[in-house]
Amino acid sequence: MASSSSACFCHGTQQSYACTSSVDAPVKRVFRLFPPRRRTVKEKQLADSYTRSPDGHVVVRLQLSSPTALLMPFEGFPKNFGDETDDQNATVLNLNKDFIDYLFARLSELGDESLLLHINLMTDFDDQRISRGSAEIMQTAIQRYFSYLEEVRREDLQKLISDAVLLGLLGAGSLGLSVFLDARQATTDVGIGLLLLSQGVTVFGWLTLWEALANVLWHWRPLYQQMRMSQRLQSASLELTTHQPLTSALPD
């Protein structure tokens, strides 16, 4: 039986809750043609909102009610998680979506700063027979998920590129056929059927070319950004504390 769990993600001295991103409407594509420069935290703002570890990593603080709050509802850590000998068939656990969105938001804000994830657990693992430490188990879950997400986004980018090439060739061919039909109409008397066909081919050509252009200009960016952020989160260090009040985990 799965028990409900909750998570609280801390930013500076205030609590922050991640919101699901809305689906981009086609009418917003023109605004994404020239996206605003990434708004990173300046050094003074960074010092006010974040602390640094002795190694110079920016500390991102999170508080979880339990280890399972890291995961999607109804998921849990299997026994001997992380001890698999076959890395190809290792278990990948789905992380909580709010947790993922919060980390992506912090990475967008911090730019290229190296991260230290400081997680405060209100309750530890119930199973005392777990052979590995809690921090090692949770870091393994995070690394495996973002390694999986990186591979998925890379495959999405490859498919996007192949689709863009195919649509571009199809659109260019359709427009070439449209030019040929228009030239024939200029020299001979054609019926309404050929005229409608010519117009339809022209519309189809421009639509496919537009979709190819949209892939090149817009659609690849969020996929590439998520792939890069997944790479960074795989290498992020993790520090675990338990049973600390939320106020004591925040910077002064």
**pLDDT tens across 76-126, in order?**
888 878 777 777 778 899 999 999 999 998 888 887 888 899 998 888 776
Q: How high does pLDDT run on average in the chain? A: 78
**Overall average pLDDT of the 178-184 stretch:** 83
Structure-token pair, residue 93: 């656990």
Percent of the chain with pLDDT over 70: 73
CA max distance for the chain: 87
Residue 194: pLDDT over 70: yes
Burial 44-62 (b: 16+ CB within 10 A, else e): eebeebbbeeeeebbbbbb
Residue 181: pLDDT over 80: yes
Report pLDDT for 247: 47
Grade residue 131 by pLDDT with cuts at 50, 70 and 90: very low
What amino acid is encoded at 183 in this protein? A
**Overall average pLDDT of the 236-250 stretch:** 68
Report pLDDT for 44: 66
Residue 5: pLDDT over 60: no
**Overall average pLDDT of the 199-204 stretch:** 90
Report pLDDT for 130: 52
Distance of CA 219 to the CA centre of its chain: 13
* pTM (global) more than 0.75: no
Whether the Cβ atoms of residue 99 and residue 121 lie closer than 8 Å to each other: no
Whether the Cβ atoms of residue 118 and residue 11 lie closer than 8 Å to each other: no
3-state SS of the chain is: CCCCCCEEEEECCEEECCCCCCCCCHHHHHHHHCCCCCCCCCHHHHHHHCEECCCCCEEEEEEECCHHHHECCCCCCCCCCCCCCCHHHCCCCCECHHHHHHHHHHHHHHCCCCEEEEEEECCCCCCCCCCCCHHHHHHHHHHHHHHHHHHHHHHHHHHHHHHHHHHHHHHHHHHHHHHHHHHHHHHCCCCHHHHHHHHHHHHHHHHHHHHHHHHHHHHHHHHHHHHHHHHHHHCCEEEEEECCCCHHHCCC
Report pLDDT for 1: 44
Structure-token pair, residue 195: 């005229």
Higher pLDDT, 38 or 171: 171
> Taking the CA of residue 207 as centre, how many other CA atoms within 13 Å lie in the half-sphere pointing to its CB?
6
Give the whole-angstrom CA distance, residue 205 versus residue 19. 38
**Overall average pLDDT of the 47-69 stretch:** 85
